[in-house]
Amino acid sequence: MTLFALSPRRLLVSWQPPPLAEQNGELTNFTIAIRDTSMFDLREESTDQLEVIVEGLQPFQLYFIRVAASTVVGLGPYTSSALIEMPEAGWET
């Protein structure tokens, strides 16, 4: 998984699908879980792509990000969490 802050409130998350040997059927989508370090704010987004832009994050806040693949059978295991600190307000790429 790769994390790249596009701005203080926007984050690009990209990943690769699980290896074929670990897939339990045809992949249908991916779920991205975003949790701030207070552990109270959990967001989930779904996509059929290998990247997503997450918007509405808070500047200078730490976030845990993880991704899971789904098949028609259901949601698979999540990746290990990655941690990113969003840049301060006023910073842009």
37 confidence band (pLDDT: 50, 70, 90): confident
C-alpha of 39 from chain center: 15
**93 — pLDDT class (breaks 50, 70, 90):** low
Domain 2-85 in CATH 2.60.40.10? yes
Q: Under a CB-based contact definition with an 8 Å cutoff, are residues 20 and 33 in contact?
A: no
CB of 70 within 8 A of CB of 28?
yes
User: What are the pLDDT digits (tens) for 48-75?
Assistant: 999 999 999 999 999 999 999 999 989 9
Indicate yes or no: pTM above 0.85.
yes
Residue 14 has pLDDT above 90, yes or no: yes
Domain boundaries along the sequence of the chain: 2-85
